[in-house]
């Protein structure tokens, strides 16, 4: 059963699950969990909560998969769930950044989320850290599009499906996000944001 | 040439070219435009630079998630955790609830679950190894018996006289002794298997107790976590209700 599951497409696995083969979900989880977790890490800008949100996303998908309409791609759907959870999480943290009378606990998570932990600083390479900080300065909309395109390798059509937007809007957000990234990176002192001329294009050959 | 309205109109095409994601006509339009428009060409190069910088953000190596394929199946992990909880409740009901929380960090309950799963795997391997050993011994015994039968059938042979020098036992006695030895070995294997089984059961019970203690600890931490755990359990119980589908 498992061997045949591993050879099935996502669509076939969803179909099998909906027909009552719950173990098909196992294959979907193992196929997508590391990608989803990577996207969640990047959107949140920290490894904090990423595993929890990923797990929660797959749990929600498990609950909703029976009713899932197969016109959409499973991958787009699971990205959508994970991104929604990320937005909720970021909003909650933003809400916690001021002192609340209802919540006497110290706002440690909110403070930590403002920057990398000392461990992250010492372990991560500098460029990665600067890029991470620059991406965090983008709006959520731009950040999501850049992450889905640049790191998750989704097509414009897939991003459009995931975010429920027209493809042209996805491209516009991506363009604006990249332009802003250039400015943020320059402020962070990342020199590789300077113009690069490669010889792949005809106008560079002259 | 300065940026014109047509530059804005061609932005989607330029993005399609930048990511090599779009139909050839779009990309060709973008190429044609870039060949003529200096500002757009400069911007295109900038965007390529940004893309290159973005690639510098590599994620640290991920810690293994509880539900990876290598450590156990998603459902199996959850079920192990659920089983741990049920066992914990059972133990508590039986009046033996006073087990102290084990001296482990109350790490992921699912991790403890996979430890239990790993325990089963190694037990299977042990059982397999014992079976192989037993069959090897059986074949050795069979070989020995065959050679003895040959000896008893040809008492005049040199080998037989040599054997008779070694022992005055009759072949029938030897066979009896062999049978006794074989039975003894079988009993020994049985006992070892039973011992291993008990040991493994105890280990499993301990692991499950750890899982239960971990869950109890998590429950006591926050209400939200408790709600999530119970939600997870609800789903898992639903899954366990149809064991034939697993």
Q: What angle do CA B85, B87, B88 make, to 5 degrees?
A: 60
pLDDT score, position A176? 95
Q: Alpha helices of chain A — where are they, by DSSP H?
A: 2-6, 10-18, 24-44, 50-64, 74-95, 108-113, 118-123, 126-136, 140-146, 156-163, 167-187
Domains and CATH numbers, chain A: 1-97 (1.10.1740.10), 115-191 (1.10.10.10)
A187 CA: distance to closest CA in chain B (Å): 13
- What is the rounded CA–CA span in Å between residue A116 and residue A39? 17
B54 CA: distance to closest CA in chain A (Å): 6
pTM of the predicted structure, to 2 decimals = 0.54
- What is the rounded CA–CA span in Å between residue B104 and residue B162? 64
A55 CA: distance to closest CA in chain B (Å): 9
A128 and B46 in contact by Cβ < 8 A?
A: no
Rg of chain A in Å (alpha carbons): 20
The answer to whether position B63 is within a domain reads no
- What is the rounded CA–CA span in Å between residue B61 and residue B98? 40
The answer to whether position B133 is within a domain reads yes
B234 lies in the same domain as B158: yes
Query: Which of B17, B30, B50 would best serve as a mutation to test chain A binding (most A beta carbons within 10 A)?
Result: B50
A203 CA: distance to closest CA in chain B (Å): 5
Of B51, B77, B58, which is closest to residue B66 (Cα–Cα)? B77
Regions of chain A where pLDDT drops below 70? 1-3, 95-125, 191-206
Which chain A residues have a beta carbon less than 8 Å from that of B67? 29-30, 33, 55, 58
A163-204 pLDDT, tens digit per residue, is 999 999 999 999 999 999 999 988 887 765 444 445 466 565
DSSP-derived secondary structure letter, B46 = H
Of B66, B61, B59, which is closest to residue A152 (Cα–Cα)? B59
Between the alpha carbon of residue B201 and those of residues A103, A140, B116, B207, the distances in Å are: 45, 51, 10, 10
Which chain A residues have a beta carbon less than 8 Å from that of B14? 175
B144 lies in the same domain as B241: yes
Torsion of CA B130, B133, B134, B136, to 10 degrees: 160
Give contacts of A 80-119 with B, CB under 8 A.
Answer: none
B48 lies in the same domain as B103: no
Structure tokens at B103: 């001296």
B123 lies in the same domain as B203: yes
| Domains identified in chain B, total number | 2
Domain that holds residue B142: 74-245
The answer to whether position B13 is within a domain reads yes
The answer to whether position B127 is within a domain reads yes
B27 lies in the same domain as B123: no
pLDDT (tens, 9 = 90+) of chain B, 246 residues, equals: 445 558 888 999 999 999 999 999 999 999 999 999 999 999 999 999 999 999 888 776 655 544 444 334 555 444 444 454 444 444 444 444 333 333 333 334 334 444 444 444 566 777 788 888 888 889 889 888 888 877 666 555 444 445 555 556 677 888 888 899 999 999 999 998 988 888 888 888 888 887 887 777 766 665 666 677 677 777 777 776 655 544
Which are the contacts of B113, defined by CB distance < 8 A and separation ≥ 6? Answer: B66, B72, B76, B77, B78, B79, B80, B81, B83, B84, B207, B211
Which residue in A51, A156, A192 is closest to B49 by CB distance? A192
B51 and A178 in contact by Cβ < 8 A?
A: yes
B97 lies in the same domain as B13: no
Report the residue of chain A nearest B47, measured CA to CA: A178
Which residue in A30, A128, A174 is closest to B69 by CB distance? A30
- What is the rounded CA–CA span in Å between residue A78 and residue B211? 29
A23 and B245 in contact by Cβ < 8 A?
A: yes
A80-94 pLDDT, tens digit per residue, is 999 999 999 988 887
B130 lies in the same domain as B36: no
Number of A–B residue contacts, CB under 8 Å = 134
Structure tokens at B239: 């899954």
- What is the rounded CA–CA span in Å between residue A115 and residue B143? 73
Neighbouring C-alpha atoms within 13 Å toward the C-beta of B94: 8
B32 lies in the same domain as B126: no
The answer to whether position B59 is within a domain reads no
- What is the rounded CA–CA span in Å between residue B42 and residue B15? 14
pLDDT score, position A69? 86
B53 and A37 in contact by Cβ < 8 A?
A: no
Structure tokens at B69: 């394929």
- Give yes or no for a contact between B137 and B185, defined as CB atoms under 8 angstroms apart: yes
Secondary structure (3-state) at A115: coil
- Give yes or no for a contact between B63 and A46, defined as CB atoms under 8 angstroms apart: no
B16 CA: distance to closest CA in chain A (Å): 8
pLDDT score, position B165? 52
Which chain A residues have a beta carbon less than 8 Å from that of B28? none
The answer to whether position B241 is within a domain reads yes
Report the residue of chain B nearest A56, measured CA to CA: B228
What ipTM was estimated for this complex?
Answer: 0.77
């Amino acid at each position: 059963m498992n061997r045949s599951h591993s050879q099935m497409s996502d669509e076939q696995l969803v179909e099998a699950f909906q027909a009552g083969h719950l173990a098909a979900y196992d294959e979907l989880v193992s196929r997508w969990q590391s990608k989803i977790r990577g996207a969640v890490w990047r959107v949140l800008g920290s490894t904090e909560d990423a595993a929890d949100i990923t797990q929660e996303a797959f749990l929600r998908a498990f609950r909703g998969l029976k009713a899932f309409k197969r016109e959409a791609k499973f991958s787009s759907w699971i990205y959508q769930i994970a991104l929604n959870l990320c937005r909720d999480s970021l909003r909650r943290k933003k809400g916690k950044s001021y002192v609340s009378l209802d919540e006497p606990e110290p706002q440690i998570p909110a403070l930590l989320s403002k920057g990398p932990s000392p461990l992250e600083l010492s372990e991560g390479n500098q460029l990665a850290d600067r890029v991470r900080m620059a991406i965090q300065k983008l709006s959520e909309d731009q950040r999501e599009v850049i992450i889905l395109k640049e790191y998750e390798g989704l097509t414009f059509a897939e991003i459009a499906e995931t975010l429920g937007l027209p493809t042209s809007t996805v491209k516009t957000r991506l363009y604006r996000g990249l332009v802003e990234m250039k400015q943020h990176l320059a402020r962070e002192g990342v020199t590789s944001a300077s113009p690069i001329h490669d010889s792949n294009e005809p106008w560079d050959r002259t | 040439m300065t940026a014109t309205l047509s530059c804005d109109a061609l932005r989607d095409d330029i993005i399609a070219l930048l990511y090599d994601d779009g139909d050839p006509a779009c990309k060709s339009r973008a190429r044609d435009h870039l060949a003529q428009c200096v500002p757009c060409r400069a911007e295109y190069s900038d965007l390529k630079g940004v893309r290159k910088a973005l690639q510098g953000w590599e994620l640290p190596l991920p810690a293994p998630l509880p539900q990876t394929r290598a450590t156990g199946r998603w459902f199996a992990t959850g079920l192990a955790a659920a089983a741990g909880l049920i066992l914990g409740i059972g133990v508590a009901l039986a009046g033996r609830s006073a087990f102290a929380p084990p001296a482990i960090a109350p790490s992921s309950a699912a991790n403890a679950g996979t430890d239990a799963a790993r325990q089963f795997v190694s037990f299977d391997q042990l059982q397999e190894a014992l079976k192989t050993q037993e069959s090897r011994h059986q074949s050795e015994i069979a070989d020995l018996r065959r050679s003895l039968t040959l000896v008893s059938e040809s008492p005049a042979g040199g080998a037989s006289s040599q054997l008779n020098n070694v022992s005055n036992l009759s072949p029938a006695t030897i066979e009896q002794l062999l049978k006794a030895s074989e039975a003894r070995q079988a009993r020994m294997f049985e006992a070892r298997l039973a011992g291993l089984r008990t040991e493994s059961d105890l280990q499993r019970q301990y692991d499950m107790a750890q899982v239960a203690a971990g869950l109890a600890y998590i429950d006591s931490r926050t209400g939200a976590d408790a709600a999530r755990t119970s939600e997870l359990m609800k789903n898992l119980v639903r899954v366990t209700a149809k064991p034939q589908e697993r």
